[in-house]
Structure 1
Amino acid sequence: MAYAVAKDGTRLYVEEAGAGTPIVFVHEFGGNYDAWEPQMTFFARRHRCVTFAARGYPPSDIPADVEAYSQAIAVSDILAVMDHLKIGQAHVVGLSMGGFATLHLGLTAPERAFSLTIAGAGYGAEKQFEDYFKGVSLDVAKNFETQTARVFAETYASGASRVQFQNKDPRGWRAFADRLATHSDIGAANTMRGVQARRPSLYDLEKEIAAMTVPALVMVGDEDDHCLQPGLFLKKTLPAAGLAILPKTGHTLNLEEPELFNTLLREFIAMVEAGRWLPRDPRANPAEVMKTK
């Protein structure tokens, strides 16, 4: 097994495949490094593809102290993986929790990213649901501790933005739920408490996001209700962002619609590498409906 070592000594399990311009995949709370297999298999034909298990996710180390988990630490861990592999710059692709970490990497270390793909990022961002989300996150953390991941996985995997996956692809959803059942109880609880419940709202970062010029692709499912408005916010705020809304799709974008996800990501990366993914043309003024003179 290959491991990168984070700043605090936490070991992070890493896998890579292929050769070419690097792509680093950052998984969601409900996934792990192996949840990116449809992308690793597809993109390794042309790229050096990297996936890793976040701290708290076996076979990475599982710190027992909740203070070893935070949004800033999640970004630092991505950079630790890149440094270990001697990757100066990469296309960084993140889903949900990984999407937030990807965005924050762009805010704190934009020089390390050729591009950012921010998929399914929005939970807890909406100001009217901020307190509710924090409370639910703490409840989820407690459930992982008291019920164990093996038992609670079935409940978590049946959420309002997961049933789309279950209905479309029962076998794929079953593999997702079974993977979730293998998570560390303490790792899942600490990730919920230290990262999910404490991260700042996207809307509180509007000024910083508006100043970030890294090419970005925002992806969201149209039935992932609490990511739709944050996705539109990112599209309107990030200067060089495109927005892809996947129809009849929930939260687990890369597994629920792997072919569409890969096609959109492939075109985005190709446009970035051709120097053709540009900031929005200032003539595309949203205040203008039709030109009169």
Structure 2
Amino acid sequence: MAFAKTDDGVNLYYEESGSGQPLIFVHEFAADYRSWEPQMRFFSRYFRCITFSARGYLPSDVPTDTTMYSQERAMKDVLAVLDHLQIEKAHIVGLSMGGFATLHIGIHHPERALSLVIAGCGYGAQPEKKTGFHAEVEAAAKLFEDLGSVEGGKKYTIGPTRVQFQNKDPRGFAEFVNAMSEHPVAGSANTLRGVQKMRPSLWELIDGMKTIQVPALIITGDEDDPCLEPALLMKRNIPSAGLVVFPNAGHTNNIEDPDLFNSTLSEFYLKVLSGRWSLRDPRSQATGILGFK
């Protein structure tokens, strides 16, 4: 088994496959390194692909101290894996919690990114929803502590932005739920309290978004209601961003619609590698239909 060690002594399990430009996948809260298997199989034909489990997710270490979990640490852990592999720059793909980490790399460490894919990012990000989001996150942490990973995972994965996956692919959804049932309770609770609950709102990051010049693609499902407005916010403020909305789709973009996800990224990378992905033309931001206002 292969591990990268962080600067605070945490071992992060990773797998890699393929050759070429490096492409690293950063998973969401309800998943782990295994959730990127459809992308690892497809993109390792063309890229050097890396997937890893965040701290708190096996086979990575599971610190019991909540202070060892944070949004900044989640960002740094991606870079720790790249550093261990002696990778200076990579294409970075993140979903949900991983999407937040990817965005933060774009803001704080753009020199490490060849491109950014920010998918399913934004739940709880609206400023007016902050208090309610904090209460919901705390309730989820208690859910895992009270019921354990198996029953807690069953309740967590059947949320309103996950039922789309269940309806489309019952077998894939069952596999997803079973994988989450194997997550350690301490890792789930600490990730919720340290990373999810304490992360800054996307609305607090607008100034940082405006500095991003790295090619960026934002993906959201049209039935992932908590992420629709945040996706528009990022599109409007990241000069290099494109936005794709998957139809009749929920939150778990890469495994709910793996073929669409892979083809969307393929087209994005074709444009990036050919030098055809450009910053937004400022003329498109003029007000009025004809741009006279």
- TM-score band by shorter chain is over 0.9
Return the offset for 1:209: 0.9
The amino acid of 2:274's aligned partner reads A
3-state DSSP of counterpart to 2:82:
helix
3-state DSSP of counterpart to 2:143:
helix
Distance in 2 separating the partners of 1:10 and 1:262 = 31
User: Which residue number corresponds to residue 98 of structure 2?
Assistant: 98
Distance in 2 separating the partners of 1:119 and 1:43 = 17
Moved over 6 A (4+): none
Return the offset for 1:291: 5.4
Cα deviation, 1:235-293, whole Å, max 9, x if unaligned, reads 0000000000000000000000000000111111121111111110112124131257x
2:147 corresponds to 1:144 = no
Pairwise mapping of residues 220-259 of structure 1 onto structure 2 (< 5 A)? 220-259=220-259
Task: Name structure 2 gaps, 5 residues minimum.
Answer: none
3-state DSSP of counterpart to 1:91:
strand
Pairwise mapping of residues 1-293 of structure 1 onto structure 2 (< 5 A)? 1-290=1-290
The amino acid of 2:111's aligned partner reads E
Q: 1:291 to 1:108 in 2, by over 3 A?
A: closer
Return the offset for 1:130: 1.3
**Normalised by the size of structure 2, how large is the TM-score?**
0.98
Q: How many residues align?
A: 293
Return the offset for 1:212: 1.5
Return the offset for 1:211: 1.4
3-state DSSP of counterpart to 1:233:
helix
Cα deviation, 1:28-51, whole Å, max 9, x if unaligned, reads 000000000000000000100000
Distance in 1 separating the partners of 2:134 and 2:214 = 29
Distance in 1 separating the partners of 2:291 and 2:27 = 44
Task: Name structure 1 gaps, 5 residues minimum.
Answer: none
The amino acid of 2:137's aligned partner reads S
Provide the alpha-carbon RMSD of the alignment. Answer: 1.1
